[in-house]
């Protein structure tokens, strides 16, 4: 009788030990799984950051070579201002370090043609930055103060690209987007009084540009899918230069270059007016 009681206690103790061991193993497994996922996520973020850093560094390295390209119409520090400080990864869409840079040449230089760019700009200076390089044709022309851009997308789903154009040290146009269309033509006058921006979405084209109207006051125009141009509101109080409209609801100007300052402005389009939600100086 006494021996049977001892065996019963021994079995209970063994069950308790097994339960505790299973619990400890389960908790350890959960902690290991969580740590593994966290480490994998951190590695992916680090890897993405490295790719962006590589792309940015490649671009900066190319900028350092601009001293060898002369004559330029503006000093190198001004180029640093336009490029080195205006390079958030989300803007240029750096992906998998697929960075390609079209260096700054005189627009008549034959090397532009070799790079697939036809530029007819007299003695103007042209710079273009195409990170993903899915654009197969670009024509940039300046005639008597009138600047025109003709852009032809490849007939490929998921076409992406971000484009900088620089002429005489002034950024004239930023184009970034996705499109399933071919033969996309963006033909706007971009002299000192007119600045344009566009975002191309799949099966959509929303665009706005700022221009001085007959009274000499700047005004905001928007273009919908039908190609109509509508005057939205005077933009004296908003003080931005260009951006894009998202389905007619949100208007973004990202790292705006205007009046010698950089700013991030988010403007919400309402039915009757444009309300400024915030401006952050950088």
Residue 13's pLDDT band (cuts 50, 70, 90): confident
Instruction: Answer whether 189's CB lies under 8 Å from 148's CB.
Output: yes
pLDDT (average), residues 111-136: 37
pLDDT for 242: 38
* Beta carbons of 153 and 173 less than 8 angstroms apart: no
Helix (H) or strand (E) run with residue 201 in it: strand 195-201
pLDDT at 130 over 60: no
pLDDT-derived band of residue 195, with 50, 70 and 90 as boundaries? Answer: very low
Give the per-residue pLDDT at 15: 82
- Residue 132 CB neighbours (<10 A): 18
Which residues of 76-194 form beta strands (DSSP E)?
100-106, 117-120, 125-130, 135-143, 146-153, 159-167, 170-179
257 CB-near residues (< 8 Å, 6+ apart): 82, 86, 171, 241
**Tokens, residue 40:** 């994998």
State residue 141's pLDDT score.
35
Residue 9 has pLDDT above 50, yes or no: yes
Strand bridging mode 159-167 / 125-130 = antiparallel
Percent of the chain residues topping a pLDDT of 70: 12
Identify the residue with better confidence: 125 or 31: 31
Mean pLDDT of 98-112: 37
Contacts of 111 (CB under 8 A, 6+ apart): 105
Read off the tokens for 160.
């992406």
Is the model's pLDDT at 29 over the cut of 60?
A: yes
pTM: 0.21
CA distance 210 to 255: 16
Q: What is the pLDDT of residue 155?
A: 35
> Is 50 exceeded by the pLDDT of residue 280?
no
Q: What is the pLDDT of residue 215?
A: 60
Q: What are the φ and ψ backbone dihedral angles of 48, each rounded to 5 degrees?
A: -65, -40
What percentage of the chain carries pLDDT values higher than 90?
0
CA distance 194 to 42: 44
Instruction: Tell me the pLDDT band of 51, cut-offs 50, 70 and 90.
Output: low
119 with 141: CB under 8 angstroms?
yes
Average predicted confidence (pLDDT) for the chain: 44
Confidence of residue 278 (pLDDT cuts 50, 70, 90): very low
Q: Which of 256, 221, 275, 222 is nearest to 82 (CA)?
A: 256
pLDDT category of residue 198 using cuts at 50, 70 and 90: very low
pLDDT band at 63 (very low <50, low <70, confident <90, very high): very low
Q: What is the pLDDT of residue 33?
A: 85
């Amino acid at each position: 009788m006494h021996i049977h009681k001892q065996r019963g206690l021994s079995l209970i103790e063994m069950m308790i030990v097994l339960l505790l061991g299973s619990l400890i193993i389960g908790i350890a497994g959960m902690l290991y799984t969580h740590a593994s996922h966290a480490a994998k996520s951190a590695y992916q973020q680090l890897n993405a950051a490295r790719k962006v850093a590589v792309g940015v560094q490649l671009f900066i390295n190319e900028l350092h070579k601009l001293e060898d390209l002369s004559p330029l119409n503006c000093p190198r520090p001004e180029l640093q201002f336009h490029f080195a400080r205006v390079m958030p990864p989300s803007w240029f869409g750096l992906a998998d370090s697929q960075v390609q840079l079209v260096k700054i040449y005189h627009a008549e230089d034959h090397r532009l043609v070799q790079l697939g760019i036809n530029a007819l700009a007299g003695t103007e200076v042209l710079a273009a930055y195409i990170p993903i390089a899915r654009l197969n044709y670009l024509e940039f022309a300046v005639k008597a103060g009138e600047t025109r851009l003709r852009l032809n997308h490849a007939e490929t789903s998921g076409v992406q690209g971000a484009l900088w154009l620089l002429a005489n040290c002034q950024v004239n146009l930023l184009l970034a987007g996705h499109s399933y269309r071919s033969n996309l033509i963006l033909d706007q006058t971009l002299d000192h009084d007119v600045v344009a921006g566009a975002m191309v979405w799949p099966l959509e084209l929303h665009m706005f540009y700022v221009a001085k109207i007959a009274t000499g006051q700047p005004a905001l125009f928007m273009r919908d899918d039908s190609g109509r141009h509508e005057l939205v509101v005077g933009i004296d109080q908003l003080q931005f230069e260009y951006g894009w409209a998202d389905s007619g609801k949100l208007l973004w100007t990202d790292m705006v270059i205007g009046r010698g300052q950089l700013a991030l402005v988010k403007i919400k389009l309402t039915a009757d007016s444009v309300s400024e939600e915030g401006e952050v100086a950088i």
